[in-house]
Amino acid sequence: MHLEKRGAVSVAAGRDASINDMKPQQITQTIWSFATLKLPPEPGLMKRLSERAVQTMEEFQPSQIARLTWSFASLNLKPDQRLVKAMSDRAVTRPDGFKPDAIAEIFWSFAVLNIKMEPRLVAALASRAMSALSSYTGKKAAVTLWSVAKMGLWREFGLVHGLVQRILANPNALDPPDFGRVMWAISTLGIHAFSATLVDDLCNLAENKIHEFQAEDLASLVKGYALVEYHADSKHFSTLWKRTLVVLTNFQPESLSDYIWGHAMLEVSPEARVSAELINRSMSIMSLFKPNEISSILWGFAKLDFTLDPMQMSNISRCALNKMDTFMPGDVSRLTHAHGLLRLRPDSGLLDAIRARAVEIVKDFSHEELTNLLWGFSALSIEPDPALVSQAAIANRASSPRDRSPQKGKPEHTAISPQSKSRKSTTIKPAHK
C-alpha cells in the first residue's frame, strides 16, 4: 500500500508537469502530499524538487514557504543549505505576508529539524509575530513559544512575553500535550518570574481536563511541574493518579521515566497502588528502555523509596548490563547514584561493567556527573578506579568554588537530575491545513 501511495504521488508529480517546469504551488503540493501520507520520497526525487524550489524561490508566497518547511519537518528531512538560505532570503523580503499560522509553522519546522535560524530571519518573523499577536490563538502561541525555546531564542523577550500573554488569554484552546510543553518552554527560557500566573492557570485547567490526558500527556505534565517547581496540592495529584491507572498500559519507556522523574524531583510519591502498578508496567517493558531511561527510572524509584523485589532489580540490572556499552556519562552516574541511594550494591557483572564503562569514557564526564558517580561508589563502599579519582581532581581544580562537591557528601537535586530530562523537549506539531 505504501509503495502504491508513493508511486501515485510520484506519477502525479510527473503527470502535472515535469519537475523542471514546476511552479511553487506544484512543488509544495507534491512534497506536502508525501508528508501527509507519511511516506518519505525517493532521495533523487527530493533532490530534484529541492533544486527546483531554489530556482523558483523568488516566486514563492509566504504561505508556500511555510507549507514547504512544514513538509520537510513532518518528513524529518533536513533541507540542504542552499534551500534553507533561499527560503530565508525570500521570507525576509516578505515578512508582512506571513500570518500567525505560517510563522508558527516556520518556527516549529526549524526547531524540529535543529536548523539554526539566521538572526535576520528571526528578527523579521519575530517583528511580524509581535505585530499580529492579537490574532494568535492560545494553541498557535503555545507552538511558537515551544519553538522559540527549542531554538534558544531567549533574547526575543518581547515576543516571548507577548506569547505568554496570548496563552494566558485563551488557555482553554490548549490540548493536553501542550500543558507540559509550555511549562518546559517556561523553564528553558527562564521566564518563571512573569509566568507564575500562567503556570497556576495551566495547572488548574489541567485538573479539569485530566480525563482527556493520555499517558504521555500525564508524563509531560508531571515533568513540567518539576521543571517550573510547581507543587500542586494533594487533591490535584489524587486526580492525576486516578487518570494514570486508567491509561497505565499505554505508558512507554520515555513517558514512564519522565513520569517517575517528575515525581522524584517534586518529592511526591504516588499512592501505594499507583506506585505498584508503575513498577509492574516498567518491568513488563524494561527490555525496551534506553540507557538514559533505565538510569533515570531507577534513580526515581530510589528517590521515591519504591520497594523493588530481587526479581525486579535483576530485571533492571540485566537490561542495564546488556546496554552498558551505549551508556553515556550521565547514565553511568545516575545508575551508580541510584544504587547508592538504595544502599544496594550492583551484582558483580553489572558492577564490573559500570567500572569499565566509566573508565572508558572518563574524560567525557562533567564535574557534577563525576561527583555523583564517586558518591555512589562511596555510599556502597566501592573503591573507585584511580583514573576516575584523577579525573575528579582535575575537574575540581577547573571548577569554581561554588561548583565544588555538594554539602554532606551527597549531590543536590540539580546535580543528580538527568540533564537530558531538564532540557529535553517533546515535539509539538501543528497540523497544516
Q: What is the pLDDT of residues 85-130, one digit of tens each?
A: 999 999 999 888 999 999 999 999 999 999 999 999 999 999 999 9
Mean pLDDT within 291-315:
96
pLDDT at site 391: 86
Q: What is the pLDDT of residues 20-67, one digit of tens each?
A: 999 999 999 999 999 999 898 888 999 999 999 999 999 999 999 999
Give percent of the chain above pLDDT 90: 78
**Among the ranges given (235-249, 368-382, 383-397), the one the predictor scored with the smallest mean pLDDT:** 383-397
pLDDT at residue 401 tops 80? no
Average pLDDT, the chain: 88
Query: Are 343 and 369 contacting, i.e. CB atoms less than 8 angstroms apart?
Result: no
Query: Are 153 and 121 contacting, i.e. CB atoms less than 8 angstroms apart?
Result: no
pLDDT at residue 326 tops 90? yes
Nearest to 428 by CA among 17, 92, 28, 109: 109
DSSP 8-class letter at 364 = G
How many CA atoms within 13 Å lie on the side-chain side of 162?
19
Query: Are 420 and 330 contacting, i.e. CB atoms less than 8 angstroms apart?
Result: yes
pLDDT at site 399: 63
Distances (CA, A) of 2 to 12, 38, 44: 15, 9, 18
Q: What is the pLDDT of residues 342-375, one digit of tens each?
A: 999 999 999 999 999 999 999 999 999 999 999 9
> How far is the C-alpha of 317 from the C-alpha of 311, rounded, in Å?
10
Higher pLDDT, 228 or 411: 228
- How far out from the chain centre does Cα 418 lie? 13
Model-level pTM?
0.83
Nearest to 403 by CA among 414, 389, 387, 418: 414
Q: Residue 419 — pLDDT band, cuts 50, 70, 90?
A: very low
> How far is the C-alpha of 349 from the C-alpha of 367, rounded, in Å?
26
pLDDT at residue 425 tops 70? no
Sign of the CA dihedral 223, 108, 88, 53? positive
Nearest to 185 by CA among 224, 146, 229, 142: 146
